[in-house]
Structure 1
Amino acid sequence: MSGNAIDQAWRRLSPLPMGRWLFSRLVCFKAPYFGSVKPRFEVLEPGRAEVTLRKRRAVLNHIGTVHAIAMCNIAELAAGTMTDISLPLTHRWIPRGMQVQYLKKAETSLRAIATGVLPREWGDGGAWPVEVAIVDLAGTVVMRATIEMWVSPRKPG
């Protein structure tokens, strides 16, 4: 595990009553834009993250389904936090691109499941693809995303 602040906060808060809710609010305090979808972290570990989004009026489009950009938001949030805790403290990351496929209407609350195959060592870094599946309450994949994370060594100092 990376031992970074996000990882430490997750390990400290997630087992507590309301801890996952509090952790989710703290992440949105640090990155306010994600607060618009009111995400909730359910799983966060190296190589995997799961974030839920409740279907509510604020995330709906004109036909009453979850808006495509709301789905992209939870996909990026799940991928980014998973990447953050997967890296050693010697490395950093930034999203470099996202490819998205909308497969079905998102008519229920959703879960973003981000996964990435961890290399044995990060070395000089490079492109690291993170796969994200957005699933509805029935487990049907309504959106898929591949988010390319650019990983590089932190500069000394």
Structure 2
Amino acid sequence: MSQTLQLFQTVGAAQFSAMVQQMAPYFASIDPLFVELRAGYAEVTFAKRREVLNHIGTVHAIALCNAAELAAGTMTEASIAKGCRWIPKGMTVEYLAKADGDIRVVADGSALDWNSQGDLQVPVMAYVGDKPVFRAQINMYVSQA
């Protein structure tokens, strides 16, 4: 079990979320809360509030990208083989609908081979309720540490 996953299970979602924001302060801009983290899966939420809105009153595209990278990166850290490291190489995104409410972001890497190295394409979806509002594909490069 990865140290990241062990930490999440030990301290709980709220404290883990606060610790992530301390370690990587940029993520604090969306004030995320991890709902679930396990090998191959991460779910993060954040509220629609003034700090993440654009000029038309919906959640800003960059806030969605921020949450997608957070969920995918943390899930990747919790999933890769011992002795490996990762770095995001790129992200493609699609905006599917106006993000007009609280956001739930899901990185589902359950179909990926986490024992492999090289480029892994991590799929991420964001929802308002059950409505898909954003899709991302994040290219994570995994290599020996």
Unaligned 5+ runs, structure 1: 15-19
CA distances 1:4-24 after superposition (whole Å, capped 9, x unpaired): 2x212101022xxxxx11110
Which segments of structure 1 move beyond 2 Å, counting only runs of 4 or more?
none
Task: Tell me if 1:135 matches 2:121.
Answer: no
* Equivalent-residue separation in structure 2 for 1:143 and 1:120 (angstroms): 24
**Bigger radius of gyration:** 1
Aligned-residue identity in percent: 49
Q: Give the one of 105, 115, 138 matched to 1:112.
A: 105
C-alpha RMSD over aligned residues: 1.0
* Equivalent-residue separation in structure 2 for 1:120 and 1:136 (angstroms): 29
Shift of 1:115: 1.1
Q: Give the one of 45, 48, 69 matched to 1:55.
A: 48
* Equivalent-residue separation in structure 2 for 1:120 and 1:145 (angstroms): 19
* Equivalent-residue separation in structure 2 for 1:120 and 1:93 (angstroms): 11
* Equivalent-residue separation in structure 2 for 1:7 and 1:79 (angstroms): 14
Task: Tell me if 1:76 matches 2:80.
Answer: no
Q: Which is strand-richer, 1 or 2?
A: 2
TM-score by length of 2: 0.96
TM-score by length of 1: 0.89
Alignment match, 1:17: none
Aligned length: 144
SS state at 1:52 partner: strand
* Equivalent-residue separation in structure 1 for 2:141 and 2:91 (angstroms): 12
